[in-house]
Every structure is written in structure tokens, then in C-alpha cells.
Structure 1
């Protein structure tokens, strides 16, 4: 394993690039590149080709074959195989691209997609994880919704679109949120009036609003991204 990492480290140093620069070009974390160089990560031929493009040189002295050869010569071969076995990413029922599974492992998370009731996922969608965060939010707090109606059509959120949100405990300013109101989860643009009340807005053919006590609202998700369905 060290033979693979040594060759990559040598190529990076010869190119005058830092770990951070290589990671940015590959679209992975700096720690991932470091672990590859240290021989703690297994990489496949496709990823080796990507390293070659970054370093602007054809890397022919390394590969999956050399990884096995180097490990076979090591006294800790069995321990190495066991370590690799534990490190391999196992995808959920909804698999992501095979290359991503092999190359990125823990840098990918399948985020659940829910309906408004938020009980059981109806599907999953893969997201890139950086420092245990998705889009800057704790990865275990992020969820997705499939929009069920055109209540927010005027805000460019249509039935069938996918929206991504993060768990929310309060209402700050004006936000588009999934809230629980009168025993039902609904998607609304919510405005805190700072007087104990909130304004709930929906915008289909015309804009409508309702002023309700904030104590009657339970926040579920604060939405920050919409993926349009074509």
C-alpha cells in the first residue's frame, strides 16, 4: 500500500502542489488525499487516471496490481486485508455510482427523501460530505422532501420538485419551512413578526397569508435548496 502512496506523494511534490490543491482539483477532502499517500486508502484504476491528469503525467508504475504485490510482501498482509475490508464503503439499498463508492467511501451519504409526514423515506439521494457536513450543515440533520402540491408555486417551488432542508428549532426572520400546524405538516413561507405571532404565506395563483400564534407552530425543516423537476 505504501508503494501506491509513495508514488502519488512523489508526483504531487514534483508538481509543486499541496494536499489542499490536489484535493480541490479532485473534488475530495484533503484528508482523503493524505490517507491515500499514507497507504491507508485503496484506490481503483479510474481514480489513478484522475491523479495522472492532475499531475499532468502518466502514472504507469502503480495500480491495483502493485497494491496487491506490495501488500503480499509485507509481514502484515493479513492485517492489511482486514483493514481494507473494514474501510470499504457499503451502499444502502439505493446505490450510488460505483466509482464514488470505491473512491470516496465515507465522503458520500445517501440522504433520505420523505413525504410531508416525515415518517419513512420514499427514496434516497447521494450527497457529498465534507468534514461530516452537507452544504455546511451537520450531515445527520439534513433531509429532503418531495414537494406534494403547488402551494408555493409563486416562489418557484412546484409539485414534484425536491427540496433540501435542515432540522430547525425556531423561526428566524423569513424562511421557507416545513411546519406542523393544526396536526398537519405543510410547506409555507414563514415570517416571524416578533410579537408572538408568525405569518404563514402560500402563493399559488395568488398570494395568501395567515397570522397565527407562534406557539401553535412546530418547526420541522428549514429549507435551503430546491431541485427543479423537468
Structure 2
């Protein structure tokens, strides 16, 4: 376990928070939190800031520890390969800032993917989030199939999906029974729960304070994104 993992684990335990609870608040898999605490994952400043907000504690000291660890590891590797003669780590952090960040970014890019947050038109990007890559997949899906959707109205308020929330999902092309999807229907893009009635019809369910259903032919409904997880805006 490295110093970063030790500090994250210590604060989490002090707050009485489980790995599962922390993972849910960060929008990552529980296994990712475990690997961070075990020192098998490298995290960047953005994720450290996010952890700080969840903990309600300033963890900036973790950033310096991580930079030092990555820098020392890279120096040792180059010395072993004969690229650089052994020398002590400079006492001036500023002197090595650029090099450390390059090393950090290279390492970080191999374990996390930047996922865009889209409006319903799936063209306008309104933000970005980073998720861990596990076995070359993100949350179990191909990397090029995942995205976030910003909820644009309160059509699904009864499902606790409100305007301003952000939903993680994956691209689909067929209607799945009981799934909640971003669909294109009657020239509009909306979020609806889809319930299959038979081989040709589905029930589109919404709830803006009261349940509303509409029967539609499957051929007239184009599923675009299945929503898998919701991140609520506080």
C-alpha cells in the first residue's frame, strides 16, 4: 500500500464510510476504490479533489505524496536502464513539476477514460467526467459506447430523475423491457421507461408528479441511450 492509498483508507475509515459508499459517491466501481487503497491504482488531482469534497477534508497533501512517488519510480526506472546516473531527488518541488506532471498524465491516461456529458441531441458537450478502465471496458461496456446525459426536464421526476441531474449510460439500438432510455419519438428526444406489450408495441412511461403512459409501435420508437446510473445534483 502506498502513502496515497493509506491516507484515503484512513480518512474513509475515520468517517465510518465503506468502500462501497465511497465508490457510489465518486461514481466509480467499488473495486477501483479498493485498488487505490491497495496502491494498485494511480489517481490524478481531479479525482483527489473529488475525494476531498466527499470527505469534507483538504487532502492536498496527498497530491504531493503521489507526485513524489511517481517521480521517484520513474527516476529509478531510468537509472536501471542506464538512462540517467543515480542522484538524490531535488529538494525543490518546482524544479521537477513539469516532468512529474508528464509522468502522472501518462500513467493516469492508461487507467481512466474521459467520458463526455451530452445534451439530449448527443452533439452538445456540457461537461466531462473520468471513469476507471477495467479489462479495457468502462463500467462493463466498450469504451466507445459509454457517455453521460444531462437531464433536461422533470418528465421523470417520479423516478427521482430531475432536471440538472446527470445520468451515466451506454448506447443501444433496441428497446429493452423495463429499461429507462433516452429515445427519439414523434420528432422529440425524451427520457422514458419502456415496457414491452407484445412483439410490435411498447408502453412509454413518464412521471412528472403523476404517472403517464403512452402506447407506441416499436417501429416508431428509436432507443438511443440506456440509463444505467444517476448522479443527483444537490
Cα distance in 2 between the residues matched to 1:117 and 1:156? 22
Note if 1:121 corresponds to 2:125: yes
SS at match of 1:122: strand
TM-score by length of 1: 0.62
Pick the structure with greater CA Rg. 1
Cα distance in 2 between the residues matched to 1:193 and 1:63? 56
User: Residues 180 and 29 of structure 1: is their aligned pair in 2 closer, same or farther, counting only changes over 3 Å?
Assistant: farther
Q: Give me the CA root mean square deviation.
A: 3.4
| 1:183 corresponds to | 187
Size of the aligned set, in residue pairs, is 168
How do 1:1-230 and structure 2 match up within 5 A? 24-26=34-36, 46-47=65-66, 64-65=71-72, 67-68=74-75, 71-72=78-79, 74-75=81-82, 77=83, 101=105, 103-230=107-234
Deviations 1:145-179 (A, max 9, x none): 11011000000101100001101121121110000
Which residues of structure 1 form unaligned runs of 5+?
1-20, 34-43, 50-61, 79-87, 91-97
SS at match of 2:110: helix
Whether the 8 Å CA contact 1:47–1:103 is kept in 2: the answer is no
Cα distance in 2 between the residues matched to 1:178 and 1:194? 21
Cα distance in 1 between the residues matched to 2:136 and 2:101? 15
Whether the 8 Å CA contact 1:89–1:105 is kept in 2: the answer is no
TM-score by length of 2: 0.61
Cα distance in 2 between the residues matched to 1:159 and 1:127? 23
